[in-house]
Chain A
Amino acid sequence: MKHIISALVQNEPGVLARVAGMFAARAFNIDSLAVGRTDNPKLSRMTIVVIGDDRMVEQVRKQLAKIISVVKVQDYAGQNLVARDLMLITIAAPAEKRPEIFALIEMFNAKVVDIGPKFVMVEVVGPEIKIEAFIEACQPYGIKSVVRTGTIAMPRHPKLKSQQ
């Protein structure tokens, strides 16, 4: 099962190596990892997606918490989340295919961010499933390159949950 784990870490040199090294040393697999500063410049947040059974993920959580530079760890499993990936994708787009491709882009609520004589670069934001679906939809046209951030996530406020 896929778990999204959020780790608040001290923004200091080597912290990424500590976390990544722990995963490697204990044979845990990282599906994706996204890191960035928070509103507090001393802290960064890592969002780590791991695949494993509950027992393994519990170990991941505990081993992360054990790292001194890691301030807080949360496993978002079972929570109502907003989870997003960002992707930049360059697709082969000869003039005759462009109407189709642009329709696709619109359908996915994606955005053209660069355009050339043969290619378009598209920005796609959304849950991972949407990103995957967009990649699949683009396959027939020819994908030149793909860059993805990995998932970032934030739990919804409990109030919003009841309002849904």
Chain B
Amino acid sequence: MSNDQTSAGSPAPKPLRKPGSQIIVDTLVELGVDTMFGYLGGVVLPLFDKLYDAPINFIIPRHEQGGCHMADAYARATGKVGVVVATSGPGATNLVTGIANAMMDSVPIVCLTGQVRTDLIGNDAFQEADITGITRPITKHNCIVKNVKDLARTIREAFHIASTGRPGPVLIDIPVDVAVSMCEVTVAPEKVHLQGYRLKPHGHAKQIAIAANAINNAKRPVLYVGGGIISSGASAELRQFAEKANVPVTTTLLAMGVFDQTKPGSLNMLGMHGAAYANFAVQEADLLIAIGARFEDRVTGKITTFAKNAKIIHVDIDPSSISKNITVDIPIVGDAKRILKELTDAIEHRERIEWCARIAELKQKYPLAYDRNATTIKPQYVIEELAHQTNGDAIICTGVGQHQMWAAQFYSYKRPRQFITSGGLGTMGFGLPAAIGAQIACPDQTVIDIDGDSSLNMTMNELATAVQYKLPVKICLINNGFMGMVRQWQELFYNKRYSCSFLENPDFATVARAYGAVGITVDKKEDVPAAIKKMLAETGTCLVDFRVEPEENVWPMVPAGKSINEMDGIDIFQSMA
């Protein structure tokens, strides 16, 4: 090989030569990676051989999708980049749901996939899939590395792209021959420079001044904040801003906890299953300050009537989020933390006594409620009891559906990164692998997967992972024996024709025990507190199967296509309050 000849002929000390697989591991360690998730396979064997000696805690899921969700939740819990590895072909395609999930919720993950040998690409080789082609629309960026010399730089770029600006998943596809070929390594890594990737964290000063003026003049302003506050680490700045201007804060599902929900200024979540008072407040507002949120349809309901009386300020790091779903009056492209700080300096203190009183009145008049006198186990009761016994401090992960909405509504979140849920993609089965990823990230915290029976069924095999790594993950199963949310829609919009929404479940506690976890079944309301207490005291993986009221609905609800103030179910729970 020409490389060998040149190095052999040179009188200088032999440069450091490493195989691609070692370069991958060394670059990851250089970038601060100490935890990875992933699954073995033929073409990633060279990489796994080098991981054997690496100072990296490697977690093996039972399915690549699970591994991807774990890396995703690890990233959400820590703010660091999550890393997942999969082999070529089915290993890589199994990541697809996980990648799309991270993309929709702007989570920084780097996926390393093995690929067949460069000379076999395109030949329909064994376990070949065009994974860069498949994941192009669901990654922030992806690429295939065909030359070992590009490997280290590509990995550094991937981490930079994944973690900056609006974060997102980046996939690097590495053919096996690249992983085994040798390359001279330069000691000092070059700085990442990407011509087509420029960040604009500084807001336009003139726009900030216009926004500050609008805020000063607003009588009924509302802050509507999303996951961007978490990505930007801006919750302290948000609090300072909201307190100085006396602006109530409503959050999207992803931003739960960025503003302490026990504060009077907290309006909880808005949208389809948001708090009625949040939706009313938005509709009464004369100024909506949207930060790091993207006016998704589950938030806005009928877009033409959303915040119809309000001027809209929209702050986002991603210019394409602005004026995508709704035309805004004052757009500001930039980093939420920086802009909130500048806005706080630019605005004047306001009391807004009338508006605060109105907010208090709305909160008092339309509280989130359920029938507390029921004799059956109400799912909301389980979650309230859980919140009570954990003092609202646990990290909560969820699947997708009714239980997710109740977990959002009835657990009071105090801090960012406390609620880990699949928002944009709505991926059933996210809960358990997410809880595993979060528990790996935060070994000293209580991590609870509030899950639904149908969601859990999708990724239940990850119980084996939780047990293998002796993780004290708690699974609080809201088991109604239905695909609850679709059943609710069938009840409300399809005349109670429960087409295919009933699934025969296994006995989950027995399943948990078969995996080596603790399994408890609760079917009486009076046993709920004791079961939760026992669950929280467990030092290993523990599942509690709560047999809840099968046909409980999530209220309030904005039916699809309606304005967010046209909620169903307010009267129902007002009578229960």
Contacts and interface: CB of A to CB of B under 8 A. Distances in A.
Contacts of A72: 196
Contacts of B493: none
Nearest to A69: B196
A125 to B, nearest CB: 31
Contacts of B197: 68
B356 to A, nearest CB: 36
Contact of B161 (A13, A25, A59, A68): A68
B140 A59 contact: no
Interface stretch (A16-24, A96-104, A131-139): A16-24
Contact of B136 (A9, A18, A62): A18
Interface in A136-152: none
B186 interface: no
B157 to A, nearest CB: 9
Given A17-B136, A66-B318, A55 B323 contact: yes
A49 to B, nearest CB: 20
A83 interface: no
Nearest to A13: B144
B534 interface: no
Contact of B196 (A14, A22, A25, A68): A68
Contact of A17 (B133, B141, B194, B319): B133
Contact of B137 (A14, A25, A66, A70): A25
Interface in A36-75: 55, 58-59, 62-63, 65-72
A80 B144 CA distance: 40
Interface residues of B, number: 20
Contact of A71 (B141, B195, B318, B323): B195
Nearest to B324: A59
B320 A68 contact: no
A69 B197 CA distance: 8
A10 interface: yes
B323 A58 contact: yes
B181 interface: no
A162 B252 CA distance: 52
Nearest to A10: B196
A62 B166 CA distance: 14
B178 to A, nearest CB: 15
Contacts of A70: 196
Most interface-central of B136, B141, B196 (chain A CB within 10 A)? B196
Interface residues of A, number: 22
A12 to B, nearest CB: 8
B141 to A, nearest CB: 4
B195 A65 contact: no
Given A21-B137, A68-B161, A62 B194 contact: no
Interface in A77-125: none
A14 B132 contact: yes
A70 B320 CA distance: 14
B262 interface: no
Interface string B315-354: 0001110111001000000000000000000000000000
B136 A65 contact: no
Given A10-B195, A55-B327, A59-B324, A68 B141 contact: yes
Nearest to A70: B196
Contacts of B318: 66
A59 B320 contact: yes
Contacts of A62: 319-320, 322, 324
A35 B141 CA distance: 21
Nearest to B165: A66
A65 B137 contact: no
Given A10-B195, A55-B327, A71-B195, A65 B133 contact: no
Nearest to B161: A68
Interface in B106-154: 132-133, 136-137, 140-141, 143-144
Nearest to B141: A68
B136 A66 contact: no
A23 B141 CA distance: 16
Contact of B319 (A22, A65, A67): A65
Contacts of B136: 14, 17-18, 21
Nearest to A14: B132
A152 to B, nearest CB: 21
Contacts of A69: 141, 196
A62 B323 CA distance: 10
Most interface-central of B133, B197, B320, B324 (chain A CB within 10 A)? B320
A62 B319 CA distance: 6
Given A10-B195, A10-B196, A68 B324 contact: no
Interface of B: 132-133, 136-137, 140-141, 143-144, 161, 194-197, 318-320, 322-324, 327
Kindly list the 8 A-B residue pairs having the minimum CB-CB distance in the complex, ordered from nearest.
A62-B320, A71-B196, A68-B141, A25-B137, A62-B319, A71-B195, A68-B197, A63-B320
21 contacts: A14-B133, A14-B143, A17-B133, A17-B136, A21-B136, A22-B137, A59-B323, A59-B324, A62-B319, A62-B320, A62-B322, A62-B324, A65-B320, A66-B320, A67-B196, A68-B161, A68-B194, A69-B141, A70-B196, A71-B195, A72-B196
Given A14-B132, A68-B196, 20 more contacts: A9-B196, A10-B195, A10-B196, A14-B136, A14-B143, A18-B136, A22-B137, A25-B137, A55-B323, A55-B327, A59-B324, A62-B319, A63-B320, A65-B319, A66-B319, A67-B196, A68-B197, A69-B196, A71-B195, A71-B196
Interface of A: 9-10, 13-14, 17-18, 21-22, 25, 55, 58-59, 62-63, 65-72
